């Protein structure tokens, strides 16, 4: 209903007060109109819907076997580099107790670098795959992705590696790997 026309010189009557019940019906009630979320209205970059191939690739890359294989390869490369580096700076390469002043040959140094690089690469690959597998399984079991997953999987991995040397070494390995995993996770997040 329109307000009655005012006489000349009289101010217009104020509008009727806003009724919150009517406003709520339009915001949360049955008269509410659903809006389609469009990133363009918010200034975002438009993103086309994903194809089935893209969804399949995402599922493969989020799977536990893929994560374990990636950690294994990454551990192998990192361990190999670390082994080559440590062999290159080691002063005991080619050491002969009969002749302590003998300088090792380049062939001996390169042979030791290769052997140590392969040894470290295998160890790092195994540890990386174990940690990645246990973290993925723990994350799947818990249904959450937080810092606790890396701590639990670090404890399992460290305990399994240390347990070969006994119970005490397993407990120390569990605590050490869990603390290291927590520190890395805290730093990365």
Q: How far is Cα 106 from Cα 99, in angstroms, rounded to an integer?
A: 17
Residues 110-124: pLDDT tens digits? 888 899 999 999 999
Residues 73 and 124 in one domain: yes
Asked whether residue 88 falls in the same domain as residue 159, the answer is no
How many domains does the chain contain in total? Answer: 2
Q: Are residues 89 and 123 in the same domain?
A: yes
Rounded to whole angstroms, the Cα distance separating 58 from 26 reads: 40
- Asked if residue 156 lies in contact with residue 139, where contact means CB atoms within 8 angstroms, the answer is no
Residues 170, 123: one domain?
Answer: no
CA torsion through residues 23, 27, 32, 35, sign: positive
Asked if residue 107 and residue 71 are part of one domain, the reply reads: yes
What is the value of pTM for the model shown? 0.66
Mean per-residue pLDDT of the chain = 84
Report the range of poorest mean pLDDT among 7-21, 69-83, 170-184: 7-21
pLDDT of 1 > 70? The answer is: no
**Angle between the 106-142 and 147-162 helix axes, to the nearest 10 degrees?**
130
Quote the strand ranges of 63-189, DSSP E.
Answer: none
What's the whole-number mean pLDDT along residues 101-114? Answer: 82
Tell me the average pLDDT across 16-41: 69
pLDDT (average), residues 96-125: 86
Task: Please tell me the predicted confidence (pLDDT) of residue 76.
Answer: 96
Q: Residues 111, 170: one domain? A: no
pLDDT for the residue 19: 73
CA distances to 49, 50, 159 from 68, rounded to whole Å, are: 29, 26, 19
Higher pLDDT, 96 or 115: 115
Does residue 140 form part of some domain? Answer: yes
Average pLDDT over residues 50-55: 91
Asked if residue 117 is part of any domain, the answer here is yes
CA distances from 161 to 34, 154, 166, 175 (A): 56, 11, 10, 12
Domain range for 106: 63-94+101-144
CA distance 82 to 94: 19
DSSP 62: T
Residue 34 has pLDDT above 60, yes or no: yes
Q: Does one domain contain both 111 and 130?
A: yes
pLDDT of residue 162: 93
| Residue 6 confidence (pLDDT) above 60 | no
Residue 15 counted as domain residue:
no
């Amino acid at each position: 209903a329109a307000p009655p026309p005012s006489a000349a010189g009289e101010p217009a009557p104020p509008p009727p007060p806003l009724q919150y019940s009517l406003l709520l019906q339009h915001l949360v009630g049955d008269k509410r109109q659903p809006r389609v979320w469009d990133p363009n209205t918010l200034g975002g970059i438009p993103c086309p819907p994903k194809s089935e191939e893209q969804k399949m690739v995402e599922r493969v890359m989020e799977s536990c076997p893929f994560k374990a294989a990636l950690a294994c390869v990454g551990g192998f490369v990192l361990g190999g580099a670390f082994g080559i580096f440590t062999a290159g700076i080691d002063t005991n390469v080619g050491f002969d107790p009969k002749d302590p002043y003998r300088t090792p040959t380049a062939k001996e140094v390169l042979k030791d670098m290769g052997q140590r690089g392969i040894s470290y690469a295998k160890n790092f690959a195994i540890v990386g795959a174990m940690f990645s597998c246990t973290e993925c399984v723990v994350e799947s079991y818990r249904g959450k992705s937080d810092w606790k997953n890396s701590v639990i999987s670090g404890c399992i991995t460290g305990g399994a590696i240390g347990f070969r040397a006994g119970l005490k070494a397993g407990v120390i390995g569990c605590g050490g790997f869990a603390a290291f995993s927590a520190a890395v996770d805290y730093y990365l997040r």
